[in-house]
Amino acid sequence: MSSLNQSKTLKNLQEAFAGESQANRTYLAFAKKAEQDGHLQVAKLFRAAAEAETVHAHAHLRAMEGVKSTADNLKSAIDGETHEFVSMYPKMITEATSEGFDQALRSFTFANAVEKVHANLYQNALDNLGNNRDTDYYVCQVCGNTLEGEPHEACEVCGAAKVAFKKID
Ligand SMILES: [Fe+2]
Ligand SMILES: [Fe+2]
């Protein structure tokens, strides 16, 4: 076995990980739609397949050595989030603005704002690793804004009411 770096297999694992990850989120969205339409059995099937795609995605990620120590994982998460709000989303926001795609613009703008929040939460967690206090997280179901501790006001990112926040177990 040669080294994974620069192998075709590493590229294949990355491609398969991206595909399985996307299938997972797509199927969950399809399940929600099937549920709204009253196709409860189809919704269940989509959720079952979504679960299986997660098993595949995680196995691919582990095979490409993408899961390290928690400190390293936090650093990797901070790098990913930072890349998104420093370069990826700003460019996408500019392009959606100039092309006039309002829904995409709104979606990119919300994600961009929330990736900054995530980078900060991860940085704090890394700084306090081993002494992280026990707090609950709440996620805005409109924009993804992520709070440490209970929401006390409307969402700062999208303006949704407090009830839009879902507690994460
Ligand atoms: Fe994020
Ligand atoms: Fe929000």
- CATH assignment of 69-132? 1.20.1260.10
pLDDT band for position 133 (50/70/90)? confident
Contact 126, 75 (CB under 8 A): yes
117: number of CA atoms within 13 Å, CB side?
A: 18
Ligand 2 ion local residues (Cβ < 5 A): 140, 142-143, 145, 155, 157-158, 160
- CATH assignment of 8-63? 1.20.1260.10
- Tell me what pLDDT residue 2 has: 80
With 90 as the cut, is the pLDDT of residue 140 above it? yes
Ligand 1 centroid to Cα of residue 3, in Å, is: 31
With 80 as the cut, is the pLDDT of residue 32 above it? yes
**Residues of 107-143 as b/e, b for ≥16 C-beta within 10 angstroms?**
bbbbbbbbbbbbbebbbebbeeeeeeeeeeebbbeeb
What is the pTM for the complete model shown?
Answer: 0.93
Average of per-residue pLDDT values in the chain:
97
- Candidate CATH numbers 3.40.30.10, 3.10.450.50, 3.90.230.10, 2.20.28.10; the one for domain 134-169: 2.20.28.10
Query: What does the pLDDT average to over 32-44?
Result: 98
Ligand 2 centroid to Cα of residue 29, in Å, is: 19
Ligand in nearest proximity to the CA of 81: 1
- Tell me what pLDDT residue 1 has: 67
The angle formed by the CA atoms of residues 15, 106 and 16, to the nearest 5 degrees, is 5
Query: What does the pLDDT average to over 70-95?
Result: 98
Ligand 2 centroid to Cα of residue 66, in Å, is: 30
Residue spans in the chain of domains classed CATH 1.20.1260.10: 8-63, 69-132
Work out the percent of the chain whose per-residue pLDDT is above 70.
99
With 70 as the cut, is the pLDDT of residue 143 above it? yes
List, for residues 90-132, the tens digit of each pLDDT value. 999 999 999 999 999 999 999 999 999 999 999 999 999 999 8
With 80 as the cut, is the pLDDT of residue 49 above it? yes
The secondary structure of residue 130, as a DSSP letter, is: T
With 90 as the cut, is the pLDDT of residue 30 above it? yes
Ligand 2 centroid to Cα of residue 161, in Å, is: 8
Residue spans in the chain of domains classed CATH 2.20.28.10: 134-169
